[in-house]
Amino acid sequence: EDKVVQSPLSLVVHEGDTVTLNCSYEVTNFRSLLWYKQEKKAPTFLFMLTSSGIEKKSGRLSSILDKKELFSILNITATQTGDSAVYLCAVGRYNNNDMRFGAGTRLTVKP
Amino acid sequence: DAGVTQSPTHLIKTRGQHVTLRCSPISGHKSVSWYQQVLGQGPQFIFQYYEKEERGRGNFPDRFSARQFPNYSSELNVNALLLGDSALYLCASSRDRGFPETQYFGPGTRLLVL
């Protein structure tokens, strides 16, 4: 059965800290791995990764995929209270019309 | 352009009742997917509709049904509600059916079953 596992499930840090969120997957017909940020309701897109070893970067956020070891990490540097949210990892597969999500990591950034 | 819209935003029902949730996709998007997100979990796929036909179905009982209208809006229906149906129901739209990576999520409908 396809699985997407995120760790840790929750994390509390202070402003300015750097955090690393993990996502491992075991899926058939892997096509892509996506990261979303969910603050209140709608998940908002952060990154899509399809190739190993190529870092995607947006401001203080970056992510990389390892297709050999079947995992991805999301890094956030110099965290701010506005980074507090649930971060979701999702996998897209060939011949499937849905995304398979992990349970998410709840990040709390304290002032 | 308006994003994906959903109605209602919140809903309280009792066990055994029926509920209808509505979704309007982004203009030009023909694919609508529904997800259920139970508290503390990630979204779980329920249905995808494209061009008014069901194109994908997740592991949900027959109490869950959906349809898509000619204007590409969609309804999710849940019959004989159970306490475990309490969740955030997310709708997502995309232009094509084969690439859910391109989907945009709506704000969701939070359903509480008492």
Q: What is the tens place of the pLDDT at every residue in A21-65?
A: 999 999 999 999 999 999 988 999 999 999 888 899 999 999 999
CB pairs under 8 A between A and B: 64
Distance CA B73, CA B70 (A): 7
Least confident of A60-74, B37-51, B62-76, B90-104: B90-104
Least confident of A97-106, B27-36, B94-103: B94-103
Q: Which residues contact B4 (CB under 8 A, 6 or more apart)?
A: A42, B23, B24, B25, B26, B91, B92, B93, B104, B105, B106, B107
Please tell me the distance in Å from A99's CA to the nearest CA on chain B. Answer: 6
Distance CA B85, CA B83 (A): 5
- B45 CB neighbours in chain A (<8 A) are 98-100
Check B42 against A34: CB less than 8 A apart.
no
Question: Is the pLDDT at B6 greater than 90, yes or no?
Answer: yes
**Average pLDDT over chain A, rounded to an integer:** 95
Residues A60-72: tens digit of each pLDDT = 999 999 999 999 9
Residue in A with minimal Cα distance to B58: A98
> What would the mean pLDDT of B20-33 be, rounded to a whole number?
95
Question: Is the pLDDT at B1 greater than 80, yes or no?
Answer: no
- A102 CB neighbours in chain B (<8 A) are 42
pLDDT band of residue A97 (cuts 50, 70, 90) is confident
Q: What pLDDT score does A95 carry? A: 82
